[in-house]
Chain A
Amino acid sequence: ILNVEQSPQSLHVQEGDSTNFTCSFPSSNFYALHWYRWETAKSPEALFVMTLNGDEKKKGRISATLNTKEGYSYLYIKGSQPEDSATYLCAFQGGAGNMLTFGGGTRLMVKP
């Protein structure tokens, strides 16, 4: 059983704050790490797919880094806005064509 952990489970921040959270995954048999953003009553939306150690990806105010040797990825949100409120999921993929194993998610709430 693959262990994919996300921390914290939930996070409350004020509008304008920058924040980050962590995804931990097995450091062996790594193929890719996927990040999703999931708003209530909607479908999870793909943010990033990261494959190389040291990868950094950016989409607007959201960025992510990857360390495959130690088995973690960070997601950063700069200047959080209320519309960033969502659950952020990471998913580990252990080989080409393998299914994705999801972490439990970090629920972010941004107060205006």
Chain B
Amino acid sequence: NAGVMQNPRHLVRRRGQEARLRCSPMKGHSHVYWYRQLPEEGLKFMVYLQKENIIDESGMPKERFSAEFPKEGPSILRIQQVVRGDSAAYFCASSPRQVSSGNTIYFGEGSWLTVV
């Protein structure tokens, strides 16, 4: 069973460009979570999506950031007009259902965004 797959693993963008990060959840998982790790900081929640729905986006910056999880295809985290402060590792996780009754979420290996 393939795990959570993220691509690209490394992405370099110039200031003002757009970054698109993709996440394919584990087979059978319909819930996706995006976390960000800024340099010298821990994992911070950004957004929780279920197929075609945003469940919780309380950790998402209000501007320039958006996320989707379409009926078909991977979840995409999109950052428009990137700035140097967006340089971070972005981690995706998935679960088969909402996290309850002792189950948990499973992480990908992350996508490292560098803004130059």
A residues touching B (Cβ–Cβ < 8 Å)? 31-32, 34, 36, 41-46, 49, 51, 89, 93, 96-105
**B45 sits at the interface (CB 8 A):** yes
CB contacts (< 8 Å) of B48 on chain A: these are 99
* Sample of 14 more A-B contacts, CB < 8 Å, known A100-B33, A100-B105: A43-B109, A44-B107, A45-B107, A49-B103, A49-B104, A97-B55, A97-B98, A99-B48, A100-B45, A102-B44, A102-B45, A104-B41, A104-B42, A105-B42
Inter-subunit contact A96/B100 (CB<8 Å): yes
A44 to B105, CA, bound (A): 10
**B3 sits at the interface (CB 8 A):** yes
Interface of B is mostly: loop
**B77 sits at the interface (CB 8 A):** no
A42-B109, A43-B3, A44-B107 known; A97 vs B42 contact (CB < 8 Å) = no
CB contacts (< 8 Å) of B43 on chain A: these are 44, 89, 102
A89-B43, A99-B48, A103-B42 known; A46 vs B106 contact (CB < 8 Å) = yes
Partner of A93, one of B3, B35, B42, B99: B99
Interface residues on B, range: 20 to 34
A49 to B45, CA, bound (A): 18
A72 to B49, CA, bound (A): 29
The CB with the most chain A CB atoms within 10 A, among B4, B91, B101, B105, is that of B105
CB contacts (< 8 Å) of A34 on chain B: these are 104-105
Q: What residue of chain A has the Cβ atom nearest to residue B56's Cβ?
A: A99
- Convert B22-66 into 0s and 1s, putting 1 for each residue whose CB lies closer than 8 angstroms to a CB of A: 000000000001010000011111001000000110010000000
A103-B42, A104-B42 known; A98 vs B99 contact (CB < 8 Å) = yes
Residues of B56-115 contacting chain A, CB below 8 A = 56, 59, 91, 98-110
A42 to B9, CA, bound (A): 11
